[in-house]
A = this chain, B = another copy of it.
Amino acid sequence: MAAPQIEQLIHLMSKIPGFGPRSARRAVLHLMNKKEGVLIPLITSMQAVADNIKKCPVCGNMDTMEPCSLCSDIKRDESQICVVQDIADLWALERVGLFKGKYHVLGGVLSAIDGIGPQDLSIADLVGRIQSGVVQEVILALPATVDGQTTAHYVAERLEKYPVKITTLSRGVPVGGELDYLDDGTLQMAFKARRDF
């Protein structure tokens, strides 16, 4: 066995998603072998994130600013809110760079199995933002899973009484998708929602 400090670090690393006990061991060896070049900069960087990154009280994004840089950006359209499951999805949409409105991070989706109910998600905060009256469109960019779509329906229902347009992402054949390899559900949906060429 390695020294207790090393075993402790391996244990903590193995809890990070993407790592198991074996790969954490390999990673820790790498970090120890490259102490000056990798381990020390990593510690400094983690410390900077731990010290400076806050959850935005408005949308739920993580940033050094509070409210976050997206919420504070006056060039972004306040009349559109895009509702996402988590920050990873917000980042994905920002990478695409098409959407210039504001976001709302739910922090998950409703799940009977995992015991996640409406009170565990920031749905009340979203309703609060809609009540201010500025928002005209809510885009539900939630996962195309059963839980994701249950959540989308629930959120839409909660917003029914407000004068906002509710939209969702289109479904169909993904770019580069071979029909042969697509699941039947997607193919059916793409066929039903066919449009003029």
Q: Which of A12-27 contact B (CB under 8 A)?
A: 12-13, 15-19, 23, 25-27
Q: Which residue on chain B has the smallest CB distance to residue A65?
A: B3
Q: Check A43–B39 contact: CB distance below 8 A.
A: no
| B41–A53 CB distance below 8 A | no
A133 vs B136: C-alpha distance in the bound complex, in angstroms?
Answer: 85
Alpha-carbon distance A86/B40, docked complex (angstroms): 22
Interface of A is mostly: helix
CA distance A5 to B65 in the complex (A): 12
**Residue count of chain A within 8 Å CB distance of chain B:** 50
A32 contacts the other chain (CB 8 A): yes
Pair A38/B18 contact, Cβ less than 8 Å: no
- A39 interface neighbour in B4, B40, B49, Cβ under 8 Å: B49
Give the distance in Å from the alpha carbon of A62 to the alpha carbon of B32 in the complex.
8
Residues of B within 8 A of A53 (CB): 3, 5-6, 32, 35
A 38-79 binary contact with B (CB < 8 Å = 1; else 0):
111111011111101100000000111100010000000000
